[in-house]
Amino acid sequence: SDICSLPFLAKICEKIKSTLKNSVPFRDVDSDKYSVSPTLRGYHWRGRDCNDSNKMAYPGRRPDNWDVHQDSNCNGIWGVDPKDGIPYEKKFCEGSEPRGIILLGDSAGAHFHIPPEWITASQMSLKSFIDLPSALTDELNWPQLSGATGFLNSTSGLKENSIYLHLRNRNRCNHRDYQNLAKNGASSQNLERIIESLSRNPRSDHPAIVIYAMIGNDVCNGKIDPVPKMTTPEQFYSKVMETLKYLNSHLPNGSHVILYGLPDGTFLWDHLHNRYHPLGQLNEDVTYERFYTFLGCLQVSSCHGWMSSNKTLRALTSERAEQLSNILKKIAISKKFTNLDLLYVDFDLQAVMKKWQKRGGQPWQLIEPVDGFHPNEVALLLMADGLWDKMQLQWPQVLGKENPFNPQIEQVFGDQGGH
C-alpha cells in the first residue's frame, strides 16, 4: 500500500515529501526557489523563473547592470533602446519603486478548492476531472486564482483582480514578483518552517508587501471540544512577534506587512446550515448541518467551532477570533521595526457579503460548496479588491507609484513573457 516503499520510487518520493514539507519548488535546478514548472510549489505559487540555470536570475531582484544583457529579474524588460542607447530597465523602471507581493497564509490564502463537479453525479463527464492531477500536485489549492497572488483570469467571470495583478497593472516592472507561501493547516503557531521558504534578499531585492493572513487555524480544529486546542492570545502574540522579527531581518528596507484579522465564522452556519450539500442535492437528503455533524463526529472537521449546531460553541470561537484580531491591532499600532511598517486590516466578511448582494448575489455563494468552509474565488477576489481600495485610499505609500512608462513597456515587451 505504500508505493514509496518501491526502491525505484524512493528517491522521487523523498523529493516530493521535502517539497511539501518545506514549501519550496519540486523542480528548481538552480535552487533559487523559483521554478519553470507550475505545480508542486512551482510558478502557480511563485513568479516563474526566467533562467533556471542561473540562481542570480529570479523575480523581484534589483536588475544586474540594468539588465543590458539578460533579464535578471524575470520581469521581461531587458536590453538597450537602440534609439538612445539607454537600457530599457533603466529607462522604464528606475525610480518607479518596484515591489513584490508575498502571502503568509493558510488554505484560504492558497485558495483551497474542490470543484463540485467532482462529486456531483448529474454534472459529471469526461471533462470533470481534467484539473485533478494539477490540483492534487498543488495540495488541492489553486494559488494561481487566489486573491493575493492570482495571475490567471477569474473562472467566475469577475472583473476584480488579485493584489498581484493590481500591483502589476500599477507598475509593469512588478511583473512576476509574487510569492504565495500559504499552506493548508498553517497557523501562527507553525509558521517557522514555512517562513524559511520565503525568498527575499535584503540587499539585492526590491521591497515587498507581505500579507499575514492566518485567518482560521488558530481557532479551528477538528476536536470534539475545540476550545482547549485554540491558540491563546499570549501564544498568538509571542509567535506573531517572532514572525515579524524574522521578516524584519529578511526583507529589504521599505517593505510593508499587512496583518489580516480573523473573520467571524458564524457566517458559515448562518448562511449554509439548512442548504443542501452537493452530495445531498440529488435526493435532497444531506444538508450542510448533516455534513458538518458527520465531519465533527469523525473529528476531521476543518473547523468544528464554527461548523457546529452548538450556538454557544460558535460564539466562543468567534470570541477567541476577535481576541486574536485585537492582538494584531495592538501590534500594528504599537510595534516599530527598522525595515518594515505594520498595517492592520479586518477580515470583513460582512462587507464582502454586502458588496456581493448589491450585485444580486447570495451569501452562500461566497463559500466553497464541497467543503462548506473556505471562502471561494468570488469571496477571495472581492476581499482582495476591498484591500486594494483601502491601500489606495489610506496607505498609497505601500503600493509604490503608478508607472508612467507602462504603455511603453507594453508596446516594446508585450506581455513580458507572460506567467
Partner 1 sequence: PSNGHACVGCVVVVSVIEQLAQVHNSTVRASMERLCSYLPEKLFLKSTCYSVVRVFGPDIIKLLSADMNADVVCHTLQFCQQDPGQAFCHLYPLPKETWKSTLEKARQIVKKSPTLKYSRSG
Query: Rule CB under 8 A: which residues touch partner 1?
Result: 1, 119, 121-122, 124-126, 128-130, 132-133, 136-137, 222, 279, 282-283, 285-286, 290-291, 294-295, 297-300
**The C-alpha cell of 142 is what?**
489553486
Q: How far is the CB of 136 from partner 1 (least distance, A)?
A: 6
Q: Are 135 and 16 in contact (CB under 8 A)?
A: no
Catalytic residue among 23, 72, 96, 107: 107
Q: Is the dihedral of CA 44, 45, 50, 52 positive or negative?
A: negative
176 burial type by CB count under 10 A (0-12 exposed, 13-18 middle, 19+ buried): buried
Q: Which residues contact 339 (CB under 8 A, 6 or more apart)?
A: 202, 248, 249, 251, 252, 253, 254, 255
Cα–Cα distance, 171 to 13 (Å, whole number): 40
Cα 95 to Cα 350: distance, rounded to the nearest angstrom:
39
Pick between residue 133 and residue 396 the one whose CB is nearest to partner 1: 133
Distance CA 183, CA 229 (A): 19
Give 298 or 393: the residue with its C-beta nearer to partner 1. 298
Minimal distance, residue 288 CB to partner 1, in Å: 11
Of the two residues 129 and 407, which places its CB atom closer to partner 1 in the complex?
Answer: 129
User: Shortest gap between Cβ of 319 and partner 1 (angstroms)?
Assistant: 26
Torsion sign over Cα 193, 199, 202, 203: positive
E strand map for 154-199: 178-180
CB of 368 to partner 1, least distance (A): 15
**Do 48 and 36 meet the contact criterion of CB atoms below 8 Å apart?**
yes
Smallest gap, in angstroms, from Cβ of residue 7 to partner 1?
18
Q: Which residues contact 29 (CB under 8 A, 6 or more apart)?
A: 52, 53
Render 402-415 in DSSP notation, one character per residue.
Answer: --TTHHHHHHHHTT
Mark whether 204 is an active-site residue.
no
Shortest distance, CB of residue 202 to partner 1, whole angstroms?
39
Strand partners, 61: 205
CA-to-CA distance for 199 and 57, rounded, in angstroms?
13
Q: E strands within 65-215? A: 100-105, 178-180, 208-213
Catalytic residues: 107
